[in-house]
């Protein structure tokens, strides 16, 4: 018996599977048969999806430490300067 090569699923597929499991329109057995994925994997994706769902609505403000803060006044001043140059 030969083993099947390891598969890497894209995030869109994982999301689709998690949402299908959450909806509950089909049983877990039906989903595993239809999409050829293991039931434990679908359950894991479902729990990961539910754990990360709060972040979708901005419950936690994520700031990227590598990006410097944006100075809006300087940007508006530059826009005004460029507008004046183009106007004359």
pLDDT tens-place string over residues 7-66: 888 999 999 999 999 999 999 999 999 988 999 999 999 999 998 887 777 755 555 667
Whether the pLDDT of residue 1 is over 80: the answer is no
Whether residue 28 lies inside any domain: the answer is yes
Do residues 45 and 17 touch, judged by C-beta distance below 8 A? Answer: yes
With CA atoms as reference, report the closest residue to 39 among 20, 59, 54: 20
Residue 16 three-state SS? helix
Whether residue 84 lies inside any domain: the answer is no
Domain range for 31: 8-54
What is the pLDDT, as a whole number, of residue 62?
A: 57
Name the band, by pLDDT with cuts 50, 70 and 90, for residue 86.
low
What is the pLDDT, as a whole number, of residue 88?
A: 60
Domain count, the chain: 1
Q: pTM for this one?
A: 0.59
The C-alpha atoms of residue 32 and residue 38 are separated, in whole angstroms, by 6
Whether residue 69 lies inside any domain: the answer is no
């Amino acid at each position: 018996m030969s083993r099947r090569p390891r598969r890497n699923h894209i995030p869109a597929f994982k999301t689709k599977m998690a949402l299908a499991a959450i909806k509950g329109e089909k049983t877990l057995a039906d989903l595993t048969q239809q999409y050829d994925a293991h039931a434990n994997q679908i359950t894991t994706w479902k729990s990961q999806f539910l754990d990360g769902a709060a972040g979708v609505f901005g419950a936690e403000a994520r700031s990227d430490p590598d990006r410097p803060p944006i100075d809006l006044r300087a940007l508006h001043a530059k826009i005004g300067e460029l507008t004046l140059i183009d106007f004359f």
